[in-house]
Amino acid sequence: MAKLANVLIIDDNPRCLEFMALAFSAHGGVNVASEMVPTKVLDRVRAEKPDLIVLDVKMPDIDGFEVLAMLRGEGNLVPVVMCSGSALQKDVDRAYAGGCNGYLEKPTTLEDYRAMAGAVVDYWRRGELPGH
């Protein structure tokens, strides 16, 4: 049986968290944890050591780019997939320059959500997304 994936979803919007959690939970073998407060992310990552982080871009206080910079700044190479409501090219470029492993626009249908979550988990299991 494939290794259980621990996915940490970070988003300030509870509805987005709900959709994301539903989509990832639809795949067997995935543990889903969520965090709405970006300033708590580092502590949770250190404590829970997730296999994969799904990170929202636009958040109050500190945005996704800053969270990513803090993670990479302390040498944490956990795969991070950034997920935003709008995929402006400059945001995408900034995300990859900051060390993210994937950048996705938030889907508008449940089917797309589930497909996105499935693709991300499959990629991680096949080693396409580097582990930490």
Q: Does 72 bind another protein (CB under 8 A)?
A: no
Q: Of 17, 55, 29, 47, give the one whose Cα is nearest residue 124.
A: 29
- Contacting another protein (CB under 8 A), which of 40, 110, 130, 132? 110
The first and second tokens of residue 30, run together, are: 């995935």
Closer Cβ to another protein, 87 or 119, answer by number: 87
Q: Does 73 bind another protein (CB under 8 A)?
A: no
Contact by Cβ (8 Å): 110, 79: no
Residue 31 φ then ψ, to 5°: -95, 125
Expressed in angstroms, the distance from the first to the final Cα of the chain is 21
d(CA 25, CA 20): 8
| Structure letter (DSSP) for residue 39 | G
Q: Does 13 bind another protein (CB under 8 A)?
A: yes
- Contacting another protein (CB under 8 A), which of 58, 72, 94, 125? 58
Q: Does 113 bind another protein (CB under 8 A)?
A: yes
Closer Cβ to another protein, 76 or 119, answer by number: 119
Which residues make up the interface to another protein (CB under 8 A)?
13, 15-16, 19, 22, 58, 60, 84-86, 88, 106, 108-110, 113
